Amino acid sequence: MWKACLNILPTKHQLRLRGIGQDDKYELCGSCETSGHVFWGCKLAREVWGNKRLKLPYLETTPRDFIDIMWQIKLKKPELDWELFAITAWSLWSNRNSVCHGGKSKAAVLIAREVTACTKEVRQTNEVQSRPSPSIGQTWTPPRRGCYKINVDGAMFKEMGYCGVGMVIRNEEGQIMGAMSKRLDLPLKALETEAKAVKESIILARDLSLRNISVESDAQVVVKSLNAQGLASSSIHKVIEGTKMELRGFDSWEVNHICRDKNSTAHLIAKHAKFISDCCV
């Protein structure tokens, strides 16, 4: 959402303005692909919004930029369910990414159904997290100054034959510096999924040019294997070795085990991979 509001999403219109590519047509309809069109003006977007019970105000014209849509709606209906609005917008962008990378567009009714399921899950998780906890150990602890903490987790979707990984990166002040939900089209088991989640988080940290990282996972076997405290299982041996190679590129790193209660945010992001076709950063 923040990228959309800052107008830095890599729409074809924005890329063309930066001299990257010549085609600015939206894959779904052939119109100019601006953030305003993807999130509001396109027929698919209108159908998705129509399937949600947001009762959005009427806009006479479609603004080119998403931030202008946000402001007009905020002025006309400030009491809007902004959480549902954000998840719906995110789902539209996720569908757009899938189409741009060769996938098929989902039907509006399916996107709306997935938005409903995701919103319900987010609110249930927030409700659990908002309950007072008797244990101080269940709170997130910041990394040392100049270091970035990465919480990672994996989720399996056995009935669908694939799994997902999720991660969130925060600085010492608790500010989110990056997050990713990624679907892996592999029927991996729990241990293998957790190992892949750690490796994907290391790659994301590298791509963000982070130099000092502290990784936290609730998979004790994976953590011990990376810290050379135990022989890695044959099923994750190659992933562990590949992760160790990636870690050598950092100035400093550590991988620690935490209880599952501390990892709820990463777990939620991993479970959201069920609703995407590839990856969302």
* pLDDT of the chain, 281 residues: tens digit per residue: 666 666 778 889 988 888 888 889 998 999 999 999 999 999 999 999 988 777 788 888 888 888 888 888 888 888 888 888 888 988 999 899 888 888 889 999 999 988 888 888 777 766 655 555 444 345 788 999 999 999 999 999 988 888 999 999 999 988 888 888 999 988 889 999 999 999 999 999 998 899 999 999 999 999 999 998 656 678 888 999 999 999 999 999 999 999 888 888 899 899 888 888 777 77
pLDDT reported for residue 80: 87
Q: How much is the pLDDT for 133? A: 47
Strands 176-184 and 212-217: unpaired
Give, in order, the Cα–Cα distances in Å from 212 to each of 150, 168, 187, 247: 11, 15, 32, 10
CA-wise closest residue to 269 among 211, 188, 189, 200: 200
CB 252 within 8 A of CB 148: no
Residue 156 in tokens: 């399996």
pLDDT of residue 252: 95
> Residue 274's pLDDT is what?
84
Report H helices in 169-277: 190-207, 220-226, 237-247, 264-271
Report CA-CA distances (Å) from 227 to 136, 242, 260: 26, 14, 19
CA 165 – CA 154 distance, rounded (Å): 4
Query: Which residue matches tokens 């249930």?
Result: 124
The pLDDT of residue 125: 64
* Distance of alpha carbon 106 from alpha carbon 95, whole angstroms: 7
**What gap in Å lies between CA 109 and CA 44, rounded to an integer?**
10
Handedness of CA 208, 119, 265, 153 (dihedral sign): negative
Q: What does the alpha-carbon distance between residue 183 and residue 163 come to, in Å, rounded to a whole number?
A: 6
- Answer whether 0.75 is exceeded by the pTM: no
In terms of Cα–Cα distance, which of 56, 272, 58 is closest to 182? 272
* Kind and range of the H or E run holding 123: helix 108-130
Which domains does the chain possess?
Answer: 2-127 (no CATH), 142-280 (3.30.420.10)
- What does the pLDDT read at residue 92? 92
Cα-only R_g, the chain? 20
